[in-house]
Amino acid sequence: MLGGAYAVDRALSTGAMGAVYAAHHVHTGERVAVKRLLDPGNEDRFEIETRLLGQLAHPRIPRIVDSFTQGADHYLVMSMVDGTDLRDTLVARGDPGLPVDEAIGWLTEVCEALSYVHAQRIVHRDVKPSNVIVSDAGAVLVDFGIAREFSGIDEGTMLIGTPGFMAPEVISGSVVTPRSDVYGAAATLWMLLTGRPPSYGVPERLAEHAPDAPAELEHVLLAALHADPMDRTPTVEAFAAALGVPLTTGLGEPLVHSVAAPGTPRTLLEAVVRAAAGVFDAAAASIALTDARTGELEYVASWGAGAKEIVGRRLAPHEGIAGAVAASGLGEAVPACRADPRFADRVAQGTGYVPITMLVVPLRRASEVVGVLSVLDRRDGRPYLPPDVDRAAAFGDLAVMAADAGGAPTAAP
């Protein structure tokens, strides 16, 4: 029994980073895949990571339904995807590769999944044939257990991945970006066509291994496999377009939500919280504006974990850490929210999101505080500290300036 709720039916795979089991919920009977992660990070990091991954909703990625810690190991519980992975498909039917149109078709659906997660500021890092399951609904990209936000170097897991499909910058420990997944997608297509992964740094001729492939396909693949990420095809959308197969977009649920604020475009509010999450490596970010009539703070835009639930909620004057910052006009870094007596437990329990660490700064117009910007839970598990406050305050000032440049008031009337 795992997590007190999941009975293991059989092992699906094992590896250096853990194992995946087919299991079922003992009460509901739901069939799931349980992944055991030997994560080098701490429990805070695991909680933050899985909470954000659990917000992803797209038909080409599995749904994360639960997470828990048991002993020294961390577990992710995902919806079961029935089908055969592309590695096994290639072994069974490759001669040595698959037909060109079929391989590009599967890869296009992989790119649809990557396009969605990249828009949510997440990079997969380990795109390869064995992580693509061909189901009745098409290709599904699995194994997001080592995904990381792409704002910088992830020292704890920088070498996680599969040789032959890992981009060179991942191997060298450089910054990981969506271009790293472009490499993985191109390496996957190369193997589907040739029966073998591409060689690092050694120019190859696609025609030698896949004589039926069009000549122009070699140039498309080599551009996406460039060793220098700056010279590589920049996005999965551009890669798919070069393959001649525009992606189907708009299928997934975005992680940003907002409500109408008088005079302030929702697109601007959403852009600010999305950017704040990226700049401060956060699992969530939100803007709350002061209601001039009641003094309450209303959350008008949020990105990330708990975004849908927090938008539209209100804090009474002085309530919670955000209310205290709005009242004092002084930004705060709170390393341990749950131990802070000002923490607005009512709101957190209502949204289902209880943050670990928080950075909150006032939004000012001249001397007037018109709202607050909050960023929650650093993705690396470390706390926000006082030196972060000045950077966040400068970011908040830019956000207000952007609103004013558009002639938009930042406070609710």
Rounded to an integer, what is the distance from CA 32 to the centroid of its chain? 21
Q: Decide: residue 409, CB within 10 A, 0-12 exposed, 13-18 middle, 19+ buried.
A: middle
3-state per-residue secondary structure call for the chain: CECCCEEEEEEEEEECCEEEEEEEECCCCCEEEEEEECCCCCHHHHHHHHHHHCCCCCCCCCCEEEEEEECCEEEEEEECCCCEEHHHHHHHHCCCCCCHHHHHHHHHHHHHHHHHHHHCCEECCCCCHHHEEEECCEEEECCCCCCEECCCCCCCCCCCCCCCCCCHHHHHCCCCCHHHHHHHHHHHHHHHHHCCCCCCCCCCCHHHHCCCCCHHHHHHHHHHCCCCHHHCCCCHHHHHHHHCCCCCCCCCCCCEEECCECCECHHHHHHHHHHHHHHCCEEEEEEEEEECCCCCEEEEEEEECCHHHHCCCEECCCCHHHHHHHHHCCCEEECCHHHCCCCCHHHHHHHCCCCCCEEEEEEEECCEEEEEEEEEEECCCCCCCCHHHHHHHHHHHHHHHHHHHCCCCCCEC
Q: Which of 235, 279, 239, 271 is nearest to 254 (CA)?
A: 271
Q: Among 39, 85, 126, 388, which one carries the catalytic annotation?
A: 126
C-beta atoms surrounding 162 within 10 Å: 18
Q: Which of 152, 151, 150, 107 is nearest to 131 (CA)?
A: 107
Pairwise CA distance, residues 1 & 175, whole Å:
39
Block residue for tokens 């790293």: 180
Diameter of the chain by CA atoms?
73
Q: Is 9 labeled as catalytic in the residue annotation? A: no
Rounded to an integer, what is the distance from CA 66 to the centroid of its chain? 16
Residues with active-site annotation? 126
